[in-house]
Amino acid sequence: MNTNQLIRNIVKNKRIAFVFGDPAGAKAMIAISKLIRDSKEFLLISDRSYSFFSEIEADVSIVINEEELFSKFADFAPQLIFTGTSLPVSVELKSLKYGKQNNIETLSFVDHWTNIKERFIDEKGQLIIPDKVYVIDSNAYNIAVKDGLPEKQVEVISNPYYNWLSTWKPKTKRYSFYQQLGINQDAAYIVYAPEPLDKFNLKEKYGFNEYDILNDVDKIFKNYSTNSKKEIKIVFKTHPNVKKEEVLKAIILNLGYIPDYLIIISDIDFNHLIYYSSLVIGFFSNSLIEASILGKPIFRLLYKLNRIENDPLNGKEIGVRIDSLKKFSEILNKKIL
């Protein structure tokens, strides 16, 4: 049975409230809702708003506090609450609590291999496990069970958003999208899509953060910019958990300036951003998986990673693993510079 049919069976004949915070969870929940949109009642709820809601034609109710969230539930009277799993934890755990307190079936989908158990621990340290936790593959299943989630409540399904993304086509023309970015039509750009390692003090765990890598990349681009007439930009796509102002301050702190070749973007349609790029660089985020589905060259800058077991994409065949700055410089010169 394929994933779409499996999901249809899971949600069959139920009034469903889909709840999500971060983009990855939002995309998965919206993709599931599209599988039932012609036959069943559902409600999409989030505590955040993203530009891609309109791109994928999702009518999402935005709530700003617990009172508004619970009011939505009371008015809609769901038979099933299906959540994403944001980090840091937020609206999803409140929804799971509400479901348990009101005898409503609860399900959650985990879209990555990292911090699976932590996604179900609230601010008081309480573990809130839904009736079923869906994870993306057998590796994620093993991690979840090893972390202590009940084996009978964990099940594998593939990410429904990736099925949708595999058939995606751009709606905005290249010329118009370049205007949105504010770059010349004859320029090329690289997308930098890192995790917020710095904000969450993860340098000790991984051996580096996003600004360490940017500092290295800057050395390559400074040399390039003085010796070439071709315009190349790097578009730094900020993570949803980090404000643009925080990124600007961190770049100035680490590089000492904001390079002319760098464009910092916080809210733009990610699919179009990837589609019109020359290549994508990063570490191990879902953004790289999405870029892979869209057929873009991906380079994972892991030459400073301290332990191979800290790479959740190891063995996943997502992009090219870069083990030295020299290798990355050579690839850039061959691919784009």
pLDDT in tens, 243-267: 999 999 999 999 999 999 999 999 8
Q: Nearest Cα to 132, choosing from 83, 181, 70?
A: 83
Burial code (b: 16+ CB inside 10 Å, e: under 16) for 133-153 equals bbbbeeebbebbbeeebeeeb
Task: Kindly state the average pLDDT of the residues 193-198.
Answer: 96
pLDDT of 131 reads 97
Cα→Cα distances 119→203, 222, 227, Å: 20, 40, 48
227 pLDDT more than 80: no
Out of 80-84, 174-178, 238-242, pick the least confident.
238-242
Maximum Cα–Cα distance across the chain? 66
Mean pLDDT computed over every residue of the chain: 93
pLDDT of 191 reads 98
pLDDT of 36 reads 82
Task: Kindly state the average pLDDT of the residues 214-232.
Answer: 82
Q: Nearest Cα to 46, choosing from 35, 29, 110, 195?
A: 29
Q: In this structure, what DSSP letter does residue 277 have?
A: -
User: Is-above-0.85 flag for pTM?
Assistant: yes
Q: Which residue has the higher pLDDT, 128 or 334?
A: 128
Residue 237 phi/psi, 5-degree rounding, is -85, 110
SS3 for 279?
strand
39 pLDDT more than 60: no
Q: Residue 2: CA atoms inside 13 Å, Cβ hemisphere, count?
A: 5
38 pLDDT more than 60: no
Q: Which residue has the higher pLDDT, 293 or 225?
A: 293
112 pLDDT more than 90: yes
pLDDT of 226 reads 62
CA distance linking residue 154 with residue 31, whole number of Å: 20
Q: Residue 180: CA atoms inside 13 Å, Cβ hemisphere, count?
A: 16
10-21, pLDDT tens digit by residue? 887 889 999 999
Tokens of 276: 């019109």
Q: What domains are defined for the chain?
A: 3-165 (3.40.50.2000), 174-335 (3.40.50.2000)
Task: Kindly state the average pLDDT of the residues 188-192.
Answer: 96
Out of 1-5, 58-62, 179-183, pick the least confident.
1-5
Out of 80-84, 146-150, 267-271, 331-335, pick the least confident.
331-335
Q: Nearest Cα to 29, choosing from 84, 73, 94, 78?
A: 84
Q: Which residue has the higher pLDDT, 265 or 226?
A: 265
CA distance linking residue 279 with residue 335, whole number of Å: 9
pLDDT of 3 reads 74
pLDDT of 77 reads 96
Tokens of 80: 């099933």
